[in-house]
Chain A
Amino acid sequence: AQSVTQLDSQVPVFEEAPVELRCNYSSSVSVYLFWYVQYPNQGLQLLLKYLSGSTLVKGINGFEAEFNKSQTSFHLRKPSVHISDTAEYFCAVSEINNDMRFGAGTRLTVKP
Chain B
Amino acid sequence: GAVVSQHPSWVICKSGTSVKIECRSLDFQATTMFWYRQFPKKSLMLMATSNEGSKATYEQGVEKDKFLINHASLTLSTLTVTSAHPEDSSFYICSARGAGSNYGYTFGSGTRLTVV
Contact = CB atoms under 8 A, between A and B. Distances in A.
A43 interface: yes
A41 B112 contact: yes
Interface in B59-112: 91, 93, 95, 103-105, 107-110, 112
A99 B34 CA distance: 8
B107 A99 contact: no
Contacts of B42: 104-105
A53 B109 CA distance: 30
A105 B44 CA distance: 9
A100 B95 contact: yes
A43 B48 CA distance: 18
Nearest to B59: A99
B46 A101 contact: yes
B44 A51 contact: no
Interface in B1-49: 6, 34, 36, 42-46, 49
B107 A44 contact: yes
Interface of B: 6, 34, 36, 42-46, 49, 91, 93, 95, 103-105, 107-110, 112
Interface of A: 32, 34, 36, 41-44, 46, 49, 51, 90, 94, 96, 99-105
17 contacts: A34-B105, A41-B112, A42-B110, A43-B6, A43-B107, A43-B108, A90-B43, A90-B44, A94-B105, A96-B103, A99-B49, A100-B34, A100-B105, A102-B45, A104-B42, A104-B43, A105-B42
